[in-house]
Structure 1
Amino acid sequence: MQLTFTQNLAFVSEAIFNGTVLLDANQAIQQEAISLGLFTANNVWMMLATALVFIMHLGFAGVEAGFGQAKNTVNILFKNTLTPIIGILTYFVVGFNLMYPGFEGGDTGIFGFAGFFLSLPENGTTIEYASGKYTYWTDFLFQAMFAATSATIVSGAVAERIKLSAYLIFTLIFVGIVYPIIGSWKWGYGWLDMRGFHDFAGSTLVHSVGGWAALAGVMVLGPRIGKYINGKVVDKPGSSVPLAVIGVFLLWLGWFGFNGGSVLSADPAVTSFVLVTTTLAACAGGIGGMIAALFMFKRLDLGMVLNGILAGLVGITAGADVIGPGYAILVGFIAGILVVFSVVLLDKLKLDDVVGAISVHLTCGVWGTLAVGLFSINPDHTLGTQFLGAAACGLTSFICAMAIFLGLKYTIGIRVSAQHEKDGMDSHEHGIRGYTITYDD
């Protein structure tokens, strides 16, 4: 209830002449203060969550640059800089209204479009979700950060051999059209939402959608030169282990906004619960990655611990609001194990993923989505429905991404020349190096 100053004055004036309405007047004024306080709290929290998700792009940049070879550092950072720029702009032009088209009764819930660019909703500047309100503009920014993340996942997998122009065109199409249409099926109240599919913050809608697209890109591109020789996997050391570690911890920090903001209000009970399950799953994922790597490689592999942390975060993202703390640890631990075996399997199939993005986001995104059907406190969340959602979104993402990559391959080409790849993309594409050491005369 929003009272104007004139209405407040009228309440007080009536109370002076009629004491019987004084209590009602006080209650109305108090209710206004509560509503304004709730609105402010929700909006501030959502803006903070937006900032945290934005920081994740810096985390992705750190992970990819750290795991990538030094000769390709600038190219990797260039892509990670342009990705959120393109993602946010395309989401403003078409993406937001594709994801939230306003499905109405009788719609199939498969495709809808509310028009180009943003416009104020009918109810003014606020948008109602959960137990409170926050501004329409905050909602757009929060959702735009998610959209850009889906393309960033692809960036790491196809690094060190994709043409910059091809990647940017792919990002423009995928983030602007493919991702929001798939997202509308659940978050825009489309057909998957009607069937009861649950994906709280995007194990499927963000992570596995990006992971399936990354798989398509890796398949079309082929492996880096010299990655697989005579049936053996040739290690290509990254440029900076410390940078990769920093990147992972920045991503972990950003996940507090990624999952915590997905409560879509500042509800203290639900938000704190989500942050606890998210953190526990990340910790368990790191342990799972360490143990699985020790079993597979007979060494304490830091890279797998880092990917294990991310695997745990991806795994819990679908059910962070409906899976209890104990099961959250189990979900994260299994995700940490799965990511190691997935990396090994991809290498056996000669699918070259520079940073392990497919294993982290696709494999563990699917696992996390199915885990909702196994461990959710809500009996309406069934394994069958969760499988349907993961399969439908994954298949659509893979087919669309494959079509885009193949279209680029047979038009402008998607892979740099062998010489450019051997020399490093920084010198040929950008004319500068990521790491430069100078000595005084």
Structure 2
Amino acid sequence: MPKLLIIQAATYRSETDRRPMRIKKRRLVGVIMPYLAALAPQGWDIKLHDDAISEPPYDEHFDVVAITCRTVSAYRAYEMAEKFRARGAKVILGGPHATFNTAEMAAHCDGLCVGEGEEIFPQMLEDAAAGRLKQIYRRDTPASMVGLPRPRWDLVDMNNYVFYRPFVIQHSRGCPYTCDFCAERRLLGDYGYRDRPAEEVVEDIKACGGKHIFFAASQFVGHKGRCMDLLEKMIPLKVNWSALFSPRFGLDENFLDLAKRSGLLHVNMGIESISQGTLTTMHKSVNHVDTYRDMIQNLNKRNISYSFNFVIGADTDTPDVFDETLNFLMEMKVPAAYFNVMVPMRGTPLYDRAKQDGRIIDEENMDRWAGVKCYMKPKHMTAEELVAGVKRMQKRFYSLPNVLGRLRFPPRSYADFANWEVCLSQRAVADSDIMNEFSEF
């Protein structure tokens, strides 16, 4: 029986500290590794390993080692790949980094998976077992979202997770929007938004055995009617769930009422900016600044926990953006926010323009390292001023006096506890200058 090790690569602590960033327990039970295990053909002995928890088992024999990574964890993936290849294992690499960095990744493995893993990953394992593994496997068609195999939750070591263990569930892929700075849609082949049948999502929720669910999708509400059908079917499950969806659905009271009844605990929204002009340049005109207050009131009166994402560094942003954004957040008592420097990611119109104009800074290292960094020359401030401003926003917003001014203490509901958990975790981010991310998977 061939042995397969599936690894999720950690990030390095910094550009100068090439040690993996380790944590004691994860907050989310990720879906990537158990889903890859579910794609494996019958007859494989499979083990999962989370590199963020502990060092991989280099001394154990494996026929194939599959490592999934993002750009920020790619160098760590290459380090592990070299060690396992030196021990005789065939190494397969894959993940979002492969889409725009194919040649780079292919140089560090025996086989590279580019695109969605359905059909490709099982074929790679069969070829590896038969001694015919090719260098690059690429999927150029969208995978069907019907009949996806159930993740192998039985292979996950639950001791690596917090006690309430929110499970990540696949609901959809892609995004119906085309924001100027976001590469998410292009990472999967630019096939638009696709969601799974509601019945299959419900069965996955039942199978995981958890009562806290996080939907792994850049946009939870792509097809409103089908999404509301899913929410109706979730009501009997009595779970608490979190997701990311557009602020415009925070104005839809019928949707929010149903979402609340189905167990909505926390929603993360891509606000991006409090300037309508900046949103227009981002191709984010679906957001309307003059509706933000109504949207916040809708969430508050239903006691729904929420957080906002901001992207700072657009060509319309001046040094005033930092204080103006913070003042808005404090005035509205927004529970939690994520402050990100605009990055010209490969595959986006923003990247094409920045490349043509010679504004990209250190492209080789773009998005490679944890922390707040600037990779595109801003128009109205220096790169150093932009980074310093974002760091200052984080520290001020998550200072204890400001947190106490926004959140209810002591907490009295699940939503209160969710707000406090997000704030406390982001206080650690602000203090340590690690990467500001909404999710861990």
Q: Which has the higher contact order (CA 8 A, sep 6+)?
A: 1
Bigger-Rg structure (1/2): 1
Specify which structure has the higher proportion of strand: 2
Q: Quick check: TM above 0.5?
A: no
User: What's the TM-score once normalised by structure 2's chain length?
Assistant: 0.24
Specify which structure has the higher proportion of helix: 1
